[in-house]
Every structure is written in C-alpha cells, then in structure tokens.
C-alpha cells in the first residue's frame, strides 16, 4: 500500500478504535478519506499538506460529510458547500478524516452540551476535554491526527488545548475566513487551530489564512511566512504579566506551573514586565451579554423550514417554529438564546447591550496600551485543570467562569495561543496562554515553539496512539 494511503488508514483505524472510549468524532469518513488518499497518491502535485490527516469540528461546513453543530436541530444535515477553510485544506492536499464532537452550537466549556454525548479527556476519561471544540482537541491529543480545526468565540480552542496538553491557536479577528463556519456570535467567532506542536498549527494556519471575498470580515492583511519566524531567537522579547489576574479563583497548581513558565521564559532571554489590564475582571460579563445577544439573532434561522429537524404534530406555522426549537435545541442553547433575547429586548437594550459594547472598547484599549510596552501577554489559559464530568453542569455561571482568561482576546479581536506548560500532581496538563497584538500570530507561534522545544511536557495522554 502507498504511504499516504497507509497513513490515512492508520489514522482512521486509530480514530475508530479510540472513539469507543473518547467519543471525539461524531462522524469518521473512512471511505471518503481512503478514496481521497488514493487520488492524492496518483497526483504528482507536491502540495504543502499532501496526505496530512486532519479533523474538523462539526460546525464547519463539509459537503462530503455531515455538519451537525452537535445539535439535534441539525442532526445529519449535509451542507451544499465547503467552508473556505476546508476548501483551502483540501487544495493543499490535506485529508479530512472526520467531523468532531462539540458543545451544541459551540456553547459550552466542557463538551457536555453535545447532543451526541460528551467527548472524554484522553488523560483521564472521568474528566471533560474542555470545550466547545473538545472533540478536535481530543483527536489531536490522542494522536489520531496531527492537527484539527476548531472554532473560538470565547476560548473554545485555547481552553480544550490546555485541558488536553496540546497547542491551540485563536487567530486575529479577520485572519481566517468564516465562510461556512456556522455562526454563533459574529463579532467574536474565529476558526482556530489545534496542533500537537506549534509547527503543526503554523502549517495549517499558513494554508487557511487570508482574505476571502465570501467573508467580508476577513482583512486584506498580508499572510507572512510563519515557518520563517519559528525558531528565531526570543532573546529580548518582552512578555507582559498581569499579576492582578493571578489571584482569586486560580487553582494553586496552575498558578505554580504558570509562574514556573514565566521563569522559564526569562531563562530563554525574554524580558518579563509587569502590566495591568484593569478592566479584565469585566470580560465575562461583557462576553455573556454580547455573545448571547448575537446568538439569539444568529440562531433564529433554525426554524424547521429549510433544513434540519422539524417537530411533528404542529398544525400552525408559529406552533411548528416553537415546537421545533423547543425539541431541537438543548438546555444551554435555549438559556443563551433567552438571555440574548432578554438583553436585546425593548427597554433593556441600552442597559445591557449598549453598555457591554462600551466596556468592550475599554477592554480592547487595555490590551492596546499593554502592547505599547510588550510583545505578548502571558496568563494561565484556564483557572484549573480539566474538571470532572458533571462537576459544573448544574451551575452555568461557574461554567462560564472557566473562560475567564480566554474571552478577552475574542472581545479585543487579538490572537492567542495555549501551550502546554506542566502537569498537575494528578498528571493532568496545564496550559499557559500568550496573547499578542492584532496580526502577531508569527510572534506567538515563535514564542510557543521556543517554549515547547526547551520545556517539553514529556508525557502523553493515557489514551493515545502507541508509538
């Protein structure tokens, strides 16, 4: 058997075997992927990702597979077109082996809001993999694929990357086309990338980044050659540390690991400076107003008319809408649609939505001020290691607070990356987060690469591909 085909077959075999335990894939596309491997083998093109197995979150449209968004309301919906990011991957020779599990409509921090069962953390299957892109994180952490696409609205790539011990990149708003990414909160959403290493993430970013006429929010900003940046000396790079955010709510082991990582960066020649992000404590409040408001509008399209699920036994149109949405959406999605409806409703708009937009300006300004003095800001990615399945399901607000370190980057539109920086006493991965100024992905990837090459995690998930 040819090399590409045998690699893809291995990836599919691993996916199928591990999925019984980890539930990271909602759909594994064996026949499709093997056919594609065969085609690639015949082609003489030396495309950059030729034969590279990749997994894609199930809210990114693929016409050769389902796109369920982890929801009953879409079920086995099959799009009529590929997302631009998917088309670019395919053009570069990648092989998409399947669609991954996620919190319904990307709303969640644990994967427990999937309508198709939660994905499990490969380091400890009694724990969540994080979310919402949990399935993609698990597919990479378990070694089934080297990289995967996820999506980010408030940390949905960085937080699961941290929980699963891999690299997770959220690019600048406008860096990757969202054409074909099912919308959640349009002023925040970005496609993000998981890699076993920052080099893997950089290779995928190189392929999918850039302006797209089908997404007017993509910016005409030149895409640098990321590989050229990676490996450069980080001596003299200035890393800002907002100590005020290392207090209440932060797990001790995470704090210690991140403090150690700051010292490690210092030992690599980086200059560590103190910075202040005075409005960061408001980020979750701003986020849950803006994200729910936008979601209530975006999810109005799911009404049982044009695609997906429709409730039976409804005799009038409005009744059909209401029953379809009631039966088709899960609890967290309904909660957020209702919160968004409330904050946008007559008499409340100025008090909530307009207020949140103003505080968002302040949050962004905090970062712009900080970046006058430093190249990147370092914090923990998440306040804890992966928590137990079921631990936070009864308390939505407690779940929201697990995004405390990540949502600011989405609100400010800046890029961020999570890099493994240690293991807890129970052997669970801890991640450090670096965020940078707009369009500074190359700087972040280089800082991440410097860290992982000098201070590798040195352990693998318990459930992962051997060898």
Which residues are CB-neighbours of 395 under 8 A, at least 6 positions away?
Answer: none
- For the bound state, the minimum distance from the C-beta of residue 29 to other proteins, rounded and expressed in Å, comes to 19
Distance CA 185, CA 336 (A): 11
For this structure, is 132 an active site residue? Answer: yes
- Is-catalytic flag, 57? yes
Nearer to other proteins, 156 or 172 (CB): 172
Q: Is the peptide bond prior to 111 cis by the omega test (within 30 degrees of 0)?
A: no
R_g (Cα) of the chain, nearest Å: 21
Q: Residue 274 or residue 349: which is nearer to other proteins going by CB? A: 349
Q: What letters, b where the CB count within 10 A reaches 16 and e where it falls short, cover 36-71?
A: bbeebeeeeeeeebebbbbbbbbbbbbeebbbbbbb
Separation of alpha carbons 65 and 53, rounded Å: 16
Closest CB to other proteins among 337 and 378? 337
| Residues contacting other proteins: total by CB under 8 A | 74
Indicate left, alpha or beta for 281 from its phi (over 0: left) and psi (-120 to 50: alpha).
alpha
User: Which CB sits closer to other proteins, 11 or 84?
Assistant: 84
Min dist CB 103 to other proteins, Å, is: 17
Using CB under 8 A as the binding rule, the residues of this chain from 360 to 389 that contact other proteins are: 360-362, 364
31 with 64: CB under 8 angstroms?
no
Helix or strand or coil: residue 97?
A: strand
Rounded to whole angstroms, the Cα distance separating 27 from 91 reads 22
Nearer to other proteins, 104 or 303 (CB): 303
Rounded CA separation 235/442 (Å): 15
Q: According to CB under 8 A, which residues from 214 to 273 bind other proteins?
A: 216-221
Q: Which of 125, 357, 393, 453 binds other proteins (CB under 8 A)?
A: 357
Q: Shortest gap between Cβ of 362 and other proteins (angstroms)?
A: 6
- Give min distance, CB of 155 to other proteins, in A: 15
For residue 455, the minimal CB distance to other proteins (Å) is: 32
Q: Is 184 near other proteins (CB under 8 A)?
A: no
Of residues 426 through 445, those in contact with other proteins by CB under 8 A are: 438-439
303-342 positions binding other proteins, by CB under 8 A: 303-310, 314-323, 325-326, 329, 331, 334-335, 337-339, 341-342
SS3 176: strand
> Catalytic annotation on 440?
no
Structure tokens, 198: 């920052």
DSSP codes joined into one string, 425-444: TTS-EEEEEEEESTT-HHHH
Decide: is 80 part of the binding site for other proteins (CB under 8 A): yes
Selected from 31, 45, 347, 397, the binder of other proteins by CB under 8 A is 397
CB 343 within 8 Å of CB 404: no
Of residues 273 and 362, the one with the C-beta less far from other proteins:
362
Cβ-contact 170, 157 below 8 angstroms:
yes
64 contributes a contact to other proteins by CB under 8 A: no
Out of 8, 145, 149, 356, the residue judged to bind other proteins by CB under 8 A? 356
> Mind telling me the catalytic residues?
57, 132, 156
């Amino acid at each position: 058997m040819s090399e590409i085909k045998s690699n893809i077959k291995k990836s599919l075999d691993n996916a199928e075997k591990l999925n019984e335990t980890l539930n990271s894939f909602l759909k594994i596309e064996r026949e499709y992927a093997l056919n594609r491997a065969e085609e690639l083998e015949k082609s003489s093109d030396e495309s950059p990702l030729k034969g590279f197995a990749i997994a894609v979150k199930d809210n990114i449209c693929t016409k050769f597979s389902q796109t369920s968004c982890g929801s009953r309301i879409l079920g086995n919906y099959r799009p009529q077109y590929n997302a631009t990011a998917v088309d670019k991957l395919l053009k570069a020779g990648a092989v998409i082996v399947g669609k991954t599990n996620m919190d319904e409509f990307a709303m969640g921090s644990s994967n427990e809001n999937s309508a198709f069962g939660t994905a499990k953390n490969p380091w400890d299957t009694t724990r969540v993999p994080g979310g919402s892109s949990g399935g993609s994180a698990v597919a990479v952490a378990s070694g089934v694929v080297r990289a995967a696409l996820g999506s980010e609205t408030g940390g949905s790539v960085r937080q699961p990357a941290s929980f699963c011990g891999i690299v997770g990149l959220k690019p600048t708003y406008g860096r990757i086309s969202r054409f074909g990414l099912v919308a959640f909160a349009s002023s925040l959403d970005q496609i993000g990338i998981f890699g076993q290493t920052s080099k893997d993430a950089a290779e995928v970013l190189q392929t999918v980044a850039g302006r797209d006429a089908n997404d007017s929010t993509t910016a005409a900003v030149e895409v640098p050659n990321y590989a050229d940046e990676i490996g450069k000396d980080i001596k003299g790079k200035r890393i800002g540390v907002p100590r005020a955010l290392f207090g209440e709510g932060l797990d001790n082991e995470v704090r210690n690991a991140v403090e150690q990582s700051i010292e490690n960066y210092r030992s690599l020649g980086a200059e560590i400076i103190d910075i202040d992000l005075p409005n960061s404590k408001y980020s979750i409040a701003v986020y849950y107003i803006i994200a729910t408001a936008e979601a209530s509008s975006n999810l109005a399209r799911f009404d049982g008319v044009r695609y997906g699920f429709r409730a039976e036994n409804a005799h009038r149109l409005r009744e059909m809408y209401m029953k379809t949405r009631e039966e088709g959406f899960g609890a967290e999605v309904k909660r957020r649609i209702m919160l968004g409806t409330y904050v946008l409703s007559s008499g409340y708009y100025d008090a909530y939505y307009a207020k949140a937009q103003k505080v968002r300006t302040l949050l962004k300004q905090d970062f712009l001020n900080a970046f006058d003095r430093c190249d990147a800001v370092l914090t923990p990615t998440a306040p804890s290691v992966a928590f137990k399945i079921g631990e936070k399901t009864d308390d939505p607000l407690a779940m929201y607070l697990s995004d405390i370190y990540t949502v600011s980057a989405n609100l400010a539109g800046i890029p961020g990356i999570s890099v493994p920086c240690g293991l807890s006493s129970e052997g669970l991965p801890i991640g450090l987060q670096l965020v940078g100024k707009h369009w500074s992905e190359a700087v972040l990837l280089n800082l991440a690469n410097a860290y992982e090459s000098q201070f590798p995690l040195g352990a693998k998930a318990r459930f992962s591909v051997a060898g």
